[in-house]
Chain A
Amino acid sequence: MTAHTELKRTPLYEKHRSSKARMVEFGGWDMPVQYQGLIAEHLAVRQAVGVFDVSHMGQFIFTGPDALTFLQFATSNSLAKLPIGRAQYNMLPNSSGGLVDDIYIYHLESEKYLMVVNASNIDKDFTHLKNLLISKELPEPFKVALENKSDDYALLAVQGPHTRAVLDPFCSVDLNAVKKNDVLPATLFDLEVLLACTGYTGEDGFEIFCTPEQAPIIWDHLLEQNITPCGLGSRDTLRLEAGFPLYGHEFSETLNPLETHMAWAIKMHKSFFGKEALVSLEIKHKLIGLKLGGKGIPREGYEVYCGGKKVGYISSGTMSPSLKCGIAMAFVEKDVAILGSSLQIKIREQMFDARVVEPVFLEK
Chain B
Amino acid sequence: MNIPTDLQYLSSHEWLRLEGDTATVGITDFAQDQLGDVVYVELPTVGQMVVAGNTVAVVESVKTASDIYSPVTGKVLEVNSSLTDNTEWVNESPFDKGWLFKVAVEDLSSELMDADEYQKVAEAEA
Contact = CB atoms under 8 A, between A and B. Distances in A.
A34 interface: yes
B36 A297 contact: no
Contacts of B22: none
A309 B122 CA distance: 43
A33 interface: yes
B63 to A, nearest CB: 6
Given A297-B65, A299-B65, A319 B36 contact: no
Classify chain B: how many residues form its interface, as a range.
Answer: 10 to 19
Contacts of B63: 33, 38, 233, 236, 318
B61 interface: yes
A39 B37 contact: yes
Given A233-B63, A297-B65, A319 B58 contact: no
A200 to B, nearest CB: 17
Nearest to B88: A39
A92 B39 CA distance: 37
A295 interface: yes
Contacts of A318: 62-63
Contacts of A248: none
A35 to B, nearest CB: 11
Q: Main SS of the interface on chain A?
A: mixed
Interface residues of A, number: 18
A296 B63 CA distance: 13
Contact of A38 (B42, B60, B62, B65): B62
A233 to B, nearest CB: 6
A37 B37 contact: yes
Contacts of A42: 62
A77 B34 CA distance: 41
Contacts of B42: 348
A348 B58 contact: yes
Contact of A34 (B36, B64, B65): B36
Nearest to A24: B63
A319 B39 CA distance: 8
Interface in A39-67: 39, 42
Interface of B: 34, 36-37, 39-40, 42, 58, 60-65
8 contacts: A37-B37, A38-B37, A39-B39, A299-B64, A318-B63, A319-B39, A319-B60, A348-B42
- Top 6 nearest A-B pairs (CB, nearest first) are A39-B37, A319-B39, A38-B62, A38-B36, A319-B62, A297-B60
